[in-house]
Amino acid sequence: MKKFMKLNTMIVLFVCIVVLSSLLITDLLISRSTSERIEQERQEKAQTISRTVADSPIVVEGLSNEERAGDIQEYTNEVQNLTEVMYVVVMDMNGIRKSHPNPDRIGESFVGGDEDRVLNGEESISISEGTLGDSLRAFTPVFATDGEQIGAVAVGISLESIALTLSESHRNILIGTIFGLLVGVIGAIILARYIKGKLFGLEPEAISQLLEERSTMLQSVHEGIVAVDKHSTITLVNKSALRIFKKAGLTEEPIGMNIKDYMYSSKLERVLQTGESEHDEEQSINGVTILVNREPLVVNQEIVGAISTFRDMTEVNQLAKQLTGIRTYAEALRAQSHEFMNRLHVIFGMVQMEAYDELLEFIRKLVDNKNHDVEKVAKNIKDPVLAGLLMGKLSYAREEGVDLQVICESTISESPNSDMNHELITIMGNLIDNAIEALSHSDEKKVKVRLKEEEHKLFITLADSGPGIKEENLDAIFTKGFSTKGPNRGVGLYLVKQSVEKLNGELNINTSSEGSTFDINVQLNQEEGIIDD
């Protein structure tokens, strides 16, 4: 497994390299410019002193008058002490010294071999070795009052002193470099810790792995996912969402667009403002209905965005149809099995008692009633699924001790499409279940279901002999989650209302202390399928 450098180490190392490289380059540039500047200053200083000495009346007089030559030594010593140069030497036109830091050297020839130019009347600057060692020399000719050259002045500055000055300057630069590097390292450590904290202590390779896993996960889920930042700009859309958007006719690239501009019906902006979650809401996108959940994204108690997950309602409805069919079939089998076992117990008891005449009469009535129920439902209801549902409910009602009557005032034709079939099952199944449950504490337990098809409409009337619905609850019974029977209830009538609306139907309720009546009519001629909101 490849081993990666830690983020802290990487940042500190990188910052140190950058700072060190910058400081070294700066050091080289500054050292070079400083060296040149110091050398230039020393040259200018030596030249200025030599010119000053050459113009001095004491030097001119001393070179012109041999009797005054001794004044030159005294004057140059004073200048040398004041200016802190290595030496100030005055020579005549023969190169014979008239002054020197070492008085024993006076009267001797100037040493160095670089004095020829100045004795020919030219100023010059050179580096040469003399009796006092290596020095930087500035030469200036001395002229008498009549303009005739009578000698020259040589001012020397020790190269060793120049080197010491350069060394001191370089040392200061080096101290600054070390200090800068130290500050850079401390800053790098603080920066690394800050970044590591912002990244929740994760290393770059861990972040990369998490990003790849997150991307793969988001793209693989069947639900559509859309995320926006706090400015409502779309930052994430997975493949399932793009598929649903394409189905709705939205073919533009959504990333970077404002959610309102891309999908006007979105309510993610409301989630950003309120910070409240929204669950299982229906939303229409250009006629495509989706089931949506919305959640705010909160970081450090601040809303930084919102995310929406959704599924195509067509897929949800198909799943619901399958579940509804299986549940209806299972309930019918359970009810019939239970009813059949009860009757077997009765038959077994009569056989043991040898009450054969009564047994014969019981079986005859049983066969007649069963045949009557089957014949009545099968004859008038041509839709096999709806007929199966009602036969199952008849068995369930007998098991619960409820007298359920199904009255068909006309022949009920088969549903034109499976979507409508699903909605009719939802309406009938929930209404009958609610009615049977409402009679659990009633003395008289009767439920009547009347069906009538007329002018491409199906009229459904369900009446029960229960205690009725309280007037203050009439407006709330179709609200999802509302129930007077305890928690985790209140879905049946909500689904009934949804299905009636999808079939462009009407629903009315009449209720009293003697029972409730539901009157429903729905359209049967929706050949193109159910119309969503």
Tell me the pLDDT tens digit for each residue of 59-79.
Answer: 888 888 888 888 888 888 888
For residue 26, give both structure tokens.
């700066």
Q: How far apart are CA 209 and CA 475, in angstroms?
A: 53
What are phi and psi for residue 201, nearest 5 degrees?
Answer: 75, 10
The verdict on residue 375 lying in a domain is yes
Q: How far apart are CA 415 and CA 425, in angstroms?
A: 11
The verdict on residue 472 lying in a domain is yes
Q: Are residues 287 and 422 in the same domain?
A: no
Tell me the pLDDT tens digit for each residue of 29-52.
Answer: 776 777 777 778 888 888 899 999
Average of per-residue pLDDT across 138-142: 92
Among residues 107, 132, 165, which one ends one of the domains?
165
Select, from the ranges 132-136, 217-221, 400-404, the one with the highest average predicted confidence (pLDDT): 400-404
Among residues 135, 165, 195, which one ends one of the domains?
165
Q: Are residues 84 and 153 in the same domain?
A: yes
Q: How far apart are CA 466 and CA 470, in angstroms?
A: 12
For residue 494, give both structure tokens.
């909500």
Q: Are residues 150 and 225 in the same domain?
A: no
For residue 319, give both structure tokens.
């799943």
pLDDT at 528: 45
CATH number, domain with residue 414: 3.30.565.10
Select, from the ranges 231-235, 259-263, 481-485, the one with the highest average predicted confidence (pLDDT): 231-235
- Say whether pLDDT at 307 is over 70: yes
What are phi and psi for residue 515, nearest 5 degrees?
Answer: 140, 180
Q: Are residues 36 and 142 in the same domain?
A: yes
pLDDT at 137: 86
pLDDT at 369: 55
Q: How far apart are CA 225 and CA 215, in angstroms?
A: 12
- Of 439, 440, 430, 434, the closest CA to residue 465 belongs to 439
pLDDT at 338: 62
Tell me the pLDDT tens digit for each residue of 327-338.
Answer: 655 655 565 566
DSSP E strand boundaries for 186-256 = 224-229, 234-237
The verdict on residue 346 lying in a domain is no
Q: Are residues 394 and 271 in the same domain?
A: no
Buried b (16+ CB within 10 A) or exposed e, 215-246: eeebeeeebbbbbbeeebbbebbbebbbebbe
Q: Are residues 137 and 255 in the same domain?
A: no
For residue 510, give both structure tokens.
């009449």
- Of 365, 428, 341, the closest CA to residue 392 belongs to 428
Tell me the pLDDT tens digit for each residue of 407-439.
Answer: 888 888 887 777 787 788 888 888 888 888 888
Q: Are residues 359 and 307 in the same domain?
A: no
- Say whether pLDDT at 207 is over 80: no
Domain count, the chain: 3
The verdict on residue 270 lying in a domain is yes
List the domain range (segments joined by +) for residue 44: 8-165
Tell me the pLDDT tens digit for each residue of 437-487.
Answer: 888 888 888 999 999 998 888 999 999 988 888 877 777 788 876 776 655
- Of 117, 110, 71, 105, the closest CA to residue 92 belongs to 110
Of 53-67, 193-207, 313-327, 377-391, the least confident: 313-327
pLDDT at 318: 57
pLDDT at 532: 44
Average of per-residue pLDDT across 494-516: 87
Average of per-residue pLDDT across 378-405: 81
pLDDT at 374: 62
- Provide the β-strand partners of residue 451: 408, 460
Amino acid at 513: S
Q: Are residues 379 and 253 in the same domain?
A: no
pLDDT band at 387; cut points 50, 70, 90? confident
Average of per-residue pLDDT across 209-220: 75
Q: For residues 358 and 466, which has the higher predicted lDDT (pLDDT)?
A: 466
Q: Are residues 159 and 17 in the same domain?
A: yes
- Report CA torsion sign: 518, 519, 525, 528: negative
The verdict on residue 333 lying in a domain is no
Among residues 279, 311, 343, which one ends one of the domains?
311
The verdict on residue 318 lying in a domain is no
Q: How far apart are CA 517 and CA 450, in angstroms?
A: 11
Q: In what order do the strands lie in the sheet with 124-130?
A: 87-92, 149-158, 133-143, 124-130
pLDDT at 219: 75
pLDDT at 499: 86
- Whole-angstrom CA distances from 374 to 324, 369, 384 are 22, 9, 12
Q: How far apart are CA 101 and CA 91, in angstroms?
A: 13
Q: How far apart are CA 160 and CA 174, in angstroms?
A: 21
- Of 153, 158, 65, 47, the closest CA to residue 110 belongs to 153
pLDDT band at 533; cut points 50, 70, 90? very low
CATH number, domain with residue 219: 3.30.450.20
The verdict on residue 290 lying in a domain is yes
Question: What DSSP element (H or E) covers 382?
Answer: none
- Answer yes or no: are the C-beta atoms of 7 and 200 closer than 8 Å: no
Q: Are residues 300 and 436 in the same domain?
A: no
Is residue 279 classed as helix, strand or coil in its secondary structure? strand
Q: How far apart are CA 479 and CA 515, in angstroms?
A: 21
Q: How far apart are CA 463 and CA 450, in angstroms?
A: 9
Q: How far apart are CA 466 and CA 464, in angstroms?
A: 6
Average of per-residue pLDDT across 136-157: 89
- Say whether pLDDT at 139 is over 80: yes
Q: Are residues 122 and 246 in the same domain?
A: no
For residue 80, count CB atoms less than 10 angstroms from its CB and return exposed for 0-12, middle for 13-18, buried for 19 or more: buried
Q: Are residues 514 and 392 in the same domain?
A: yes
The verdict on residue 343 lying in a domain is no
- Say whether pLDDT at 102 is over 70: yes
For residue 420, give both structure tokens.
């409508």
